[in-house]
A = this chain, B = another copy of it.
Amino acid sequence: MEAIIRKFQKELNSGTSALVLLGVLSRAEEPMYGYQIAKLIEAGREDVPVKQGALYPALRSLEAGGLLESQVEPSISGPPRRYYQITDTGRAALVRWQEIWEQTKVFVDDALKGGHDV
């Protein structure tokens, strides 16, 4: 039973994490590095669907798709950091993804609440 719960959570996270990252970076006023993004997402939350271990692959995947771009900058307090910012392609994708997300919410909630005559 717990394995099924975790599988569901994992699949749902992999579907939404790219949307969350793109949303956060679309409103960032300057480029952000991974740890900053993670802390911002985690702010004030007990149960955070985006795990740190999944964050960096998700950022790289968005960059590979042209939705983000990055540059490495030296840090005074440790190793160099990779800073990410959203691209124009990323902003266009975000608009479409938000539409899909809104449709999905309505669709799932209807199925759960019995919008139709089951």
Chain A residues close to B by CB (< 8 Å): 1, 4-5, 8-9, 11-16, 18-20, 23-24, 27-29, 40-41, 43-45, 47-49, 65, 67, 89, 92-93, 96-98, 100-101, 103-105, 107-108, 111-112, 114, 116, 118
Contacts and interface: CB of A to CB of B under 8 A. Distances in A.
A101 B20 contact: no
Copies in the complex: 2
A19 B8 contact: yes
A34 to B, nearest CB: 15
Contacts of A45: 107
A1 B92 CA distance: 9
Given A1-B89, A5-B100, A89-B1, A112 B19 contact: yes
